[in-house]
Amino acid sequence: MKNFSIILLISLLTVGCETQRIIDKQEIEEAPKPIRVPDYVEVPRVVPFLVDLGEPIKKGDRIEVIIDDNLAYSVWTDSDMGVDFLSGRVRSLRGKLAASVLRSDGKLDSAVVQFRQTGSAFVPSGGDSSRECKERAKSGAIKFLCENSMGKNSYIGEVVISTSKGNAHVSLTPYASKDPFGWVKGDFNNATIIDVGIIEN
C-alpha cells in the first residue's frame, strides 16, 4: 500500500491553550511499516492518531478512521482540493484501529493496527449541544479543538472547513474522544470553520 501510514503518537500537539499527549519518536521509528503504532496506550479514552496519505483525496474520495469496528472520523471534500493528512483522537475499547481511503473510481486502500492498552474506554450516554470550537490555521493546514462530551444522544457530527479551494468536511461520531480534535492538511489556504453540526438521537 503505497505511501499510506497510520501513526499513533504520544508527544505534544498544541491547539490554542490545549495540548494533546502523543508517543515517543523513537518508538515510532522502530515500529514496522507501513503502519506505525506504539506498543502500549495508557489512556484509551484519548488515543491520538495520524493518517498520512501519499496520494491526497479529492472530490469523490473519502478517508475513514475506524476504532474497534466503529466509525469515528471521515473526511471528504466538495471540490478538487486535495487533503493528504488527518489527525484526531478516538476512544478505544479493544485497541484496534483501521483507516481506509475510498477513491471515486472504486479503489480502496486500508490498513489495520492493534495495540495494547490499560483498561477500556466507553461511549457515554447523554451528550450536549455545544458547538464551541477553537481553531488555528496556516497555509496548507488547520487544527481545531471543540468542546463537546460526544455522548450517544447528542454530539458534534460534522465540522465544515472553508478554504481557498472549496470546503472540507470532517464527520465525527461518539467514538471520537470527548472535546474532539482535528488536524487537516492539504493544498489549500485561508482555512476557517464555517459550520459545526450537532446530531441528536
Confidence of residue 38 (pLDDT cuts 50, 70, 90): low
* Domain layout of the chain by residue ranges: 4-200
Maximum distance among all alpha carbons in the chain? 43
Tell me: pLDDT of 18 over 80: no
Please list, in sequence order, all residues whose beta carbon lies within 8 angstroms of the beta carbon of residue 85, skipping any fewer than 6 positions away.
Answer: 50, 51, 52, 53, 141, 183, 184, 185, 186
Give the residue among 143, 153, 197, 155 at the shortest CA–CA distance from 179. Answer: 155
What letter does residue 174 receive in the DSSP assignment? T
pTM over 0.85: no
Decide: helix, strand or coil at residue 42: coil
Reported as a single tens digit per residue, the pLDDT across 44-96 is 999 999 888 888 999 999 999 999 999 999 999 999 899 999 999 999 999 99
Mean pLDDT of 173-179: 98
